[in-house]
A = this chain, B = another copy of it.
Amino acid sequence: MRRFATDRGKQLLLLSSRRLLPTTPSPSPATAAGLNYAFPFSTSSSSPVPMASPVTVDTINPKVIKCQYAVRGEIVIHAQRLQEDLQANPGSHPFDEILYCNIGNPQSLGQQPITFFREVLALCDYPGLLDRDETHALFSADAVERAWKILDGIKGLREAIAAGIAARDGYPANADDIFLTDGASPAVHMMMQLLLRSEKDGILCPIPQYPLYSASITLHGGSLVPYYLDEATGWGLELSEVKKQLEDARSKGITVRALVVINPGNPTGQVLSEDNQREIVEFCKREGLVLLADEVYQENVYVDNKKFHSFKKVSRSMGYGDKDIALVSFQSVSKGYYGECGKRGGYMEVTGFIPEVREQIYKIASVNLCSNISGQILASLVMNPPKETDESFQSYIEERDGILSSLARRAKTLEDAFNSLEGVTCNKAEGAMYLFPRLHLPQKAIEAAKAVNAAPDAFYARRLLDATGIVVVPGSGFGQVPGTWHIRCTILPQEDKIPAIVSRLKTFHEAFMAEFCD
């Protein structure tokens, strides 16, 4: 079979979208502070504006201008340019393909979708198949049965998700608490839209963070209140730090509305301990904060001594119910072992809000219309995969375990590779899909970056791309302790590509360090 390629369309989309951008974007000066980004979109236009233009960068919403989103930023645009170059002039670069280690999209790097999920989706898309004899040769019996159930509405999709959550946690879940969304991002936007009234409202966010949070807070006009994860303790979440930042924000007149926790962590890959989670729940309850739990990597844990626990399970195990803590858990079909980014499925489980506020959430959800039905179906499937008695069970388990154990091996190999490099230290990826190694760069490299108005990690990432075709995201896109530099690298390239990546990375790094040695 030819390579499965629903995500190719998306790649093409990105590819041609880049043509929207000016051919020679000039990177803005990046500073060394935690939340500055390497290559922000330019904030003012220096090109002459034709008289006729009713819309200029000076007359659009300044929140849009201010918003930054580095994951699909300048480095990616440059990578796409190189890719076009390679197609037009093979051999024009010292590598023959671009390796996208920048975004957590497994299928775009060749991972095959889980068969059972796609069987059910195809049958739901074209139910005419269900009445045909040939179908039994092509589809598993449990996929056919599941499709019938979904199409007949026998089992509501939100009911199926609630049942999956209850089975995961050992505590009841209510279908009425589930809001189906096109992935986790629209759910995050919805909560920010709900909670943020002005820049005097703040949201506590980990640093480093996934830039969806900073972008969404900016777009909705609120303030990001950063708390730093501790790199020295494996990106630990120290409650004393959160408390300090909360008090600091309050002293500046900021009303802090919510605490964002990403577990497993993005870009950091840490998995919180249950004790740590209990502290966090207690803290949110005491301080009157909504706990926004980004749990999209709940299926991605790679170490034996850690386990994913949902914040809902943890809070229920502490005896806290709907009246005690306002909690939103975000889930997505884009992550997990399945990695179905292109399907845009997900949900948020909303608990602990009074009915009048839930009404308002329901209203925003209505204005946004329903999420796409394939994504809804897929969300119900990932939360209720085949059971032991189902025909698909064995092959499903093999596919799932094959992906997860391969990811664990890739994480370890890449972690070791980074740690073997001079001046690079890399925490373990306990979960999620990323490594976030720290670069201890020579002073000369930092000065060279400054000379071209780039953040040092963006400078490094750009040089890495030009030399090897490997695309990573500069740490400055996620925020980092001022004066420290990182890159985020996914663990998603297929295993047969990993040795080449490691060797190209090493060669590049040695040359880079030699070039800029102090």
Contacts and interface: CB of A to CB of B under 8 A. Distances in A.
A408 interface: no
Interface string A117-155: 011011111111111101101100000000010111100
Contacts of A7: 373
Nearest to A354: B53
A374 B372 contact: yes
B115 A122 contact: no
Interface in A35-78: 41-42, 45, 47, 49-50, 52-57, 59-62, 64-65, 67, 69, 72
Given A185-B368, A193-B219, A372-B372, A151 B8 contact: yes
Given A42-B356, A363-B69, A367-B212, A6 B373 contact: yes
B138 A129 contact: yes
Interface in A76-119: 115, 118-119
Interface string A160-197: 00000000000000011000101101100100011111
A22 B360 CA distance: 12
Contacts of A138: 129, 132, 134-135, 138
Interface stretch (A9-17, A449-457, A500-508): A9-17
A424 to B, nearest CB: 29
Contacts of A368: 185-186, 189
B153 A61 contact: no
A128 to B, nearest CB: 6
A4 B151 contact: yes
B53 A360 contact: no
A101 to B, nearest CB: 18
A438 interface: no
A112 to B, nearest CB: 10
Contacts of A303: none
Interface in A1-29: 1-2, 4-14, 16-17, 19-22
Given A20-B359, A57-B357, A343-B372, A6 B64 contact: no
Nearest to A256: B54
A483 interface: no
Contacts of A62: 197
A20 B196 CA distance: 22
A324 interface: yes
Interface in A321-339: 323-324, 326
Given A121-B126, A151-B2, A64 B363 contact: yes
A290 B54 contact: yes
A268 interface: no
A182 B182 contact: yes
A322 to B, nearest CB: 10
Contacts of A126: 118-119, 121-122
B367 A16 contact: no
A129, A135, A290: residue with the most chain B Cβ atoms closer than 10 Å: A129
A364 interface: yes
Interface string A363-404: 111111111111111000000000000000000000000000
A61 B369 contact: no
Nearest to A342: B373
A220 B131 CA distance: 48
A367 B52 contact: no
Contact of A20 (B157, B362, B369): B362
A349 to B, nearest CB: 13
A354 B9 contact: no
A357 B59 CA distance: 10
Given A16-B175, A156-B16, A358-B20, A372 B375 contact: yes
B355 A60 contact: no
A185 B369 contact: yes
Given A119-B126, A123-B122, A257 B54 contact: yes
A462 interface: no
A97 to B, nearest CB: 15
Contacts of A69: 363, 366-367
B10 A370 contact: yes
A20 B361 CA distance: 10
5 contacts: A1-B127, A13-B180, A52-B323, A118-B126, A342-B372
Name the 7 nearest CB pairs between A and B, nearest first.
A122-B126, A342-B373, A344-B372, A134-B134, A122-B122, A54-B288, A8-B153
Given A1-B128, A64-B194, 9 more contacts: A8-B152, A10-B373, A20-B355, A65-B360, A72-B366, A134-B138, A185-B368, A216-B367, A344-B370
